[in-house]
Amino acid sequence: MPGWLSPALLVLWAPLGFRATCYYYRKAYYRSFFADPVACAVGEARPQAYCGEVKFPFILQNLHRYFLYAALIFLVFLWADVVRAFVIHGSLALAGGSLAILASTTTLTLYTFSCHSLRHLVGGKLDCFSCIASGGPRYRAWSWVTFLNEHHMGWAWASLFAVCFADLYVRLCSMGVIHDPVFATFVHLFDVPDKGFTP
């Protein structure tokens, strides 16, 4: 891969596809950019019959549930990063970067777990919880996802801003433009080998 190209581009398809096919964002950009429809109970701007998402490229919106599976896997790596963000020079510590990464991963988790596809998957597609095995746990999972789902739009925006902020913050720190303040150091965990490098 050329040096000027970020390796992050190799994984960008998953978060980008997840957001682009998200039901909330679809509603927003269909209304704002395509005026199709402009709003609920408002007629079509163009004299044409609505044909749904059955043709290319919009048929690709049906991939949303698969992007959800990818997003759930990515969350595991993001939470591993959160743990690493709290280990600074071999000690458990709290820094500006730790908080930025914690905020972005927390809001991303809430955005992912409030997904309409996940709600359908855990119980929304069922007509009767008491008629199936493990109906109780499925009902509780569905209730939790439903609770989060009511605020899906909020999680969508909060996570978008939190991720952008965390990415910018980490980038500026890595370039030496800003210095990451360490607020508190708690426990020493391990010694970091001295590589003879003084920042």
- In the complex, the residues that contact ligand FES under the rule CB under 6 A are 22-24, 64, 68, 115-117, 152
Nearest approach, Cβ of 18 to ligand FES (angstroms)? Answer: 6
If you search the block for the tokens 């050329």, which residue do you land on? Answer: 2
Residue closer to ligand FES, measured from CB, 93 or 119: 119
Cis before 37? omega within 30:
yes
Among 29, 112, 108, smallest CA distance to 64 is for 112
Q: CB of residue 111 vs ligand FES: minimum separation in angstroms?
A: 6
Closest contact distance (angstroms) between CB of 7 and ligand FES is 25
Packing angle, helices 152-174 and 135-149, rounded to 10: 70
The residue type at 147: F
Q: What is the 3-state secondary structure (H, E, C) of 101-134?
A: HHHHHHHHHHHHHCCHHHHHHHHHCCCCCCCCCC
**Choice between 73 and 131, CB closer to ligand FES:** 73
CB of 10 to ligand FES, least distance (A): 22
Place of tokens 């960008």: 12
Rank residues 98 and 117 by Cβ distance to ligand FES and give the closer one: 117
Of 152 and 162, CB closest to ligand FES: 152
